[in-house]
Amino acid sequence: MDNLGWLIPVIIVAVIVIALAAWFFITRKHLQTATAQVDASWNDVADQLKRRNDLIPNLVAAVREFAGPEQQVYAELESASADAVASSGPNDAAAAENRFQGALRSVFGLVSGYPQLSNQPNFLQIKADLVQTEDKIQAARRNYNSTVRGYNRQISRFPNSLVAGSAHAEERAIYEVTDRAAISEPPRVQF
């Protein structure tokens, strides 16, 4: 029996090592899942930006029919919308969103001089689709920001922070638009 006295400390150390390894791999998997959730919520934002981008040619065509060839205004709107879709992350998207909102205001300003446009069914449908899409963009942005805040808290908290590097979990940027008034509510299209 004296020869087996060393076995108890070895078993205790083995249990501790196995428990630490299990904790490490479970935490790592959990952080990888959280990373995937952040990516998925960003994809929701990107999908809505693409949907809005798909509406812009129809908006331009409807406005061009009545407002005439204001090529610079239309080109700026189309370019800003394409930049928002092509953005590689929240920081790029925020800059593009500010530019897009300014260009959209320019188009709406141009349209305000053409009251007959407000009676056109095609334009009214595009207007409704655009407002609905802006609502969806805001909802997707709020969901993304909420997910990122939780994720950033999770990876910075001890002991998760010990595992974050091996799980390739890095802090993510919040999708903050510098001109908060521009996105505080969907564009008002009043004609």
pLDDT tens, residue by residue, 6-45: 888 889 999 999 999 999 999 888 888 888 999 999 999 9
End-to-end distance of the chain based on CA atoms, in angstroms?
Answer: 94
Candidate ranges 14-23, 92-101, 177-186; pick with highest mean pLDDT: 14-23
Question: Residue 159 — φ and ψ, nearest 5°?
Answer: -95, 0
CATH topology of domain 2-183: de novo design (two linked rop proteins) (1.20.1440)
pLDDT at 189 over 80: no
Q: State the pTM of this model.
A: 0.76
pLDDT at 182 over 60: no
pLDDT at 70 over 80: no
Tell me which of 55 and 110 has the higher pLDDT. Answer: 55
pLDDT digits (tens, 9 = 90+) for 164-178: 877 778 888 888 876
Radius of gyration of the chain (CA): 26
Check if the beta carbon of residue 175 is closer than 8 Å to that of residue 90: yes
- pLDDT confidence of 52, banded at 50, 70, 90? confident
Tell me which of 12 and 118 has the higher pLDDT. Answer: 12
pLDDT digits (tens, 9 = 90+) for 131-152: 899 899 999 999 999 999 998 9
Residue-wise burial string across 65-101, b where 16 or more C-beta atoms lie within 10 A, e elsewhere: ebbeebeebbebbbebbebbbebeebeebbbbbbbbb
Query: Taking residues 62-88, what's their average pLDDT?
Result: 79
Q: Given this model, what pLDDT does residue 177 score? A: 74
Short-list 117, 182, 172, CA closest to 147:
172
Q: Given this model, what pLDDT does residue 15 score? A: 94
Domains of the chain by residue range: 2-183
